[in-house]
């Protein structure tokens, strides 16, 4: 039986493991931490191509409207879009449960470094690297700098307060002197992810300062910060997605 190793227990890795198990492969998945933890995401589930169904777990609400604030404010009807606000941790745990039930061996708290990757590729028939950005494959094969050159930067607070005015709605905003946008994605009437992301790094333009400006502008100064996170968001696909018997998926 063909042996497949999946590295990374995020959505891409879990979906890849489920698909491979459905084709009868012997699948093992390594996750560096605990599945469903250390989430760095605004947690909007947007199926732009309508290839996926409604998530089977973790759905907070169907998004009915998107508010876009620029020089003027616009309201976009989202009822026909495959767009949901989710709890991504719950969703990933559900995918992991489904994968286990389909025979996938999931091993948590098992990070893979580049030296281990070289050994593992000789142990398994194939490897799917869904380890994120930069991927462990990029470190092993010397192209990790690609992500630094082709990624947006994001910062985000999870905040507690009154977000009831955004019931079943998401809000994004543009700023005239900034190549990027901010977002307010409520998970409930009392919790929301509030963040800023850019597509082009400008010297001396600190994203955390930008986020502070957004919080003041949106009247959120009296809200409580529960969690602080940030990271990169790839904006381009590497020209090569296969290295020996290793395939890249996801970020």
- DSSP string across 173-235: E--TT-SEEEEEEESSSSEEEEEEEESS--TT--HHHHHHHHHHHTT-TTSEEEEEEEEEEE-
| Residues pairing with 183 in the sheet | 172, 195
pLDDT at 203: 65
pLDDT at 176: 85
Q: E strands along the chain, which residues?
A: 3-7, 26-30, 44-46, 59-62, 65-69, 73-77, 83-86, 105-107, 126-129, 151-160, 169-173, 180-186, 191-198, 224-234, 242-243, 246-248
Q: How far, rounded to the nearest angstrom, does the alpha carbon of residue 199 sit from its chain's CA centroid? A: 16
- Domains, the chain, in order of start with CATH, read 1-40+87-149+237-251 (3.50.50.60), 44-86+151-235 (3.30.9.10)
Instruction: Show pLDDT as tens, one digit a residue, over the chain (251 residues).
Output: 999 999 999 999 999 999 999 999 999 999 999 999 999 999 999 998 888 889 999 999 999 999 999 999 999 999 999 999 999 999 999 999 999 999 999 999 999 999 999 999 999 999 999 999 999 999 999 999 999 899 999 999 999 999 999 999 999 999 888 889 999 999 999 999 999 999 876 666 799 999 999 999 999 999 999 999 999 999 999 999 999 999 999 97
pTM here is 0.93
Distances (CA, A) of 199 to 126, 175, 182: 34, 13, 12
- In whole angstroms, give the CA distance from residue 17 to residue 11: 10
Provide the 10 A C-beta neighbour count for residue 126. 18
Pair type for strands 126-129 and 65-69: unpaired
pLDDT at 199: 84
pLDDT at 166: 98
């Amino acid at each position: 039986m063909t042996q497949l190793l999946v590295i990374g227990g995020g959505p891409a890795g879990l979906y890849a493991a489920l698909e491979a198990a459905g084709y009868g492969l012997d699948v093992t998945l390594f996750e560096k931490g605990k599945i469903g933890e250390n989430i760095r995401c605004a947690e909007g589930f947007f199926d732009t191509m309508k290839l996926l169904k409604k998530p089977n777990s973790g759905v907070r609400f169907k998004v009915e409207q998107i508010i876009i604030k620029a020089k003027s404010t616009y309201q976009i009807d989202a009822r026909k879009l495959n767009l949901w606000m989710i709890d991504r941790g719950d969703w990933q745990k559900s995918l992991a449960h489904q994968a286990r039930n389909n025979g996938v061996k999931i091993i948590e708290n098992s990070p893979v470094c580049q030296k281990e990757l070289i050994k593992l590729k000789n142990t398994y028939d194939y490897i799917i690297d869904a380890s994120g950005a930069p991927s462990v494959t990029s470190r092993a094969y010397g192209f990790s700098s690609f992500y630094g050159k082709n990624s947006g930067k994001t910062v985000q607070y999870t905040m507690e307060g009154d977000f009831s005015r955004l019931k079943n709605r998401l809000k994004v905003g543009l700023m005239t002197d900034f190549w990027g946008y901010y977002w307010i994605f409520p998970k409930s009437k009392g919790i929301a992810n509030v963040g800023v992301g850019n597509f082009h790094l400008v010297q001396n333009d600190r994203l955390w300062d930008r986020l502070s400006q957004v919080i003041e502008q949106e009247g959120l100064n009296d809200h409580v910060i529960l969690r602080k996170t940030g990271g990169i968001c790839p904006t381009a696909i590497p020209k090569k997605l296969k290295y020996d018997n290793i395939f890249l998926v996801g970020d």
